[in-house]
Amino acid sequence: MSDTPRISDQNKHVFFEDWGLTDYQEAWDRQESIFAKIVQHKVQNRDFLTPEPTSNYLIFTEHPHVYTLGKSGQADHLLLDQEGLGRKEAQFYKTNRGGDITYHGPGQLVGYPILDLDNFFTDIHLYLRTLEEAIIHTLAHYGVKGDRYPGYTGVWIDPDLPTARKICALGVRASRWVTMHGFALNVSTDLGYFGNIVPCGINDKDVTSLEREIGRPVELEEVKSVLKLQLSALFGMKLT
């Protein structure tokens, strides 16, 4: 059993948006715009005795082939030069999230919760663990046992075995308790693209997908529905 405590059941209004297949830079810009408005709102709230509630968002998307490097990552964990990126029809971005390098592409469910944690709980560690818990519960729906790997973020399969493999990466940014970036769950992802990086800076572990683990195709829309329910339950969200 996982050890993340269940947080308050109180409903929190969260706007859900599905952006479909979206260019990474476009999605980043849209996130930054929403993020900045919420932070600005919080700053303005300091002048009011009865602050107006801030908004929260949960965004699902997919990206065309792209590699992204977090603030604590190493550029040499990308094993392709510009010519190689071109051959793979992939882009590369340095980002302001935490974590090292990872890959996004079609068949991967990317989630961007832009939440004011003052509306939920002001604990980044609990926030990350709760995202992981939602993924673990989603995998369990398909008969797959996800787990945590001590010392690392994300969700893993068989973390205690030599066959340990990562199925979901996490990388977040937070300012004034407002979050952005999020998680990337491999559903039917082309795992070959991970061979062009040192995924999350870990060079001795495999990467997997839900489709690979259960041995059959999985509809991304179905996984979205399951994961929305898990996130709603664990965060006490009321999605609109």
Q: Which amino acid is at 28?
A: W
Long-range contacts of 143-151 (CB under 8 A, 24+ apart): 143/214, 144/210, 144/213, 144/214, 147/2, 148/2
Q: Which one of 139, 200, 220, 227 is the catalytic residue?
A: 200
Beta bridge partners of 104: 66
Distance CA 233, CA 227 (A): 10
Distance CA 94, CA 19 (A): 22
15 to 59, 60, 114, 118, 157: CA distances (angstroms):
8, 11, 10, 16, 31
Q: Does the annotation count 200 as an active-site position?
A: yes
Closest C-alpha to 167, from 100, 234, 102: 102
Active site residues: 200
